[in-house]
Amino acid sequence: MNKKRRLVLRTVILIVLAAAIIFTLYANFTKNDRKIATVGEQAPDFVLEDLDGRKYRLSDFKGKGVFLNFWGTFCDPCKREMPYMDNQYKKFKDQGVEIIAVNVGETDLAIETFANQYNLSFPIVVDNGEVQKAYGIYPLPATFLISPEGKVVDYIEQSLTEDMIADYMNQIKPE
């Protein structure tokens, strides 16, 4: 009986390990297949609306640096960086740097409540998943730095501090 129990236990462990290896390989290969907007190339254009129905087309911001941030109200790192983004937006908007905060398809009520809670002054647009897919966004938060010429300067896949945001905005500020 003891031998049979050990055999079953070893078999279960081997199956779990094999499943973990297969999952890891699958996750790595599918992650690499994501079509992320590539640094040095033109940023994919899009048109998204804010909660008031105003349309924002990325190409309309040509001549300005764009801090393109993908976020969600459920994302704790997003909650931490939003006030920093707003502070830096107030400093850089008159220097030719814009923030476009792309919410990843939540309800208007959730977005509006969040924006009011943090007293955000930069444009917040809502994506139904198309722009997120075009940019290859996963996980949140994710930020693209776009030059005044419309090219992707950098892609940041982490939570940002206020100093980091200021440095990034300086990188995309028109000369």
| pLDDT tens for each residue of 26-58 | 665 554 444 567 888 999 999 999 999 999 999
Query: Which of 149, 133, 135, 136 lies closest to 40 in space, CA to CA?
Result: 149
DSSP 139: S
| pLDDT tens for each residue of 142-156 | 999 999 999 999 999
Cα distances (angstroms) measured from residue 10 to each of 7, 22, 159: 5, 18, 41
* Cα–Cα distance for residue pair 86/98, rounded to 1 Å: 11
Which residues on neighbouring strands pair with residue 142, listed in sequence order? 70
With b for 16 or more beta-carbon neighbours within 10 A and e for fewer, the 72-109 pattern comes to bbebeebbebbebbbebbeebeeebbbbbbbbbeeeee
| pLDDT tens for each residue of 159-173 | 999 999 999 999 999
- Whether the full predicted model's pTM is greater than 0.85, yes or no, is no
Q: Rounded to the nearest 5°, which phi and psi values hold at 101?
A: -100, 115
47-172: CATH, from 3.40.50.720, 3.20.20.70, 3.40.190.10, 3.40.30.10: 3.40.30.10
Query: Which of 138, 163, 8, 148 lies closest to 67 in space, CA to CA?
Result: 148
Residue type, 12: V
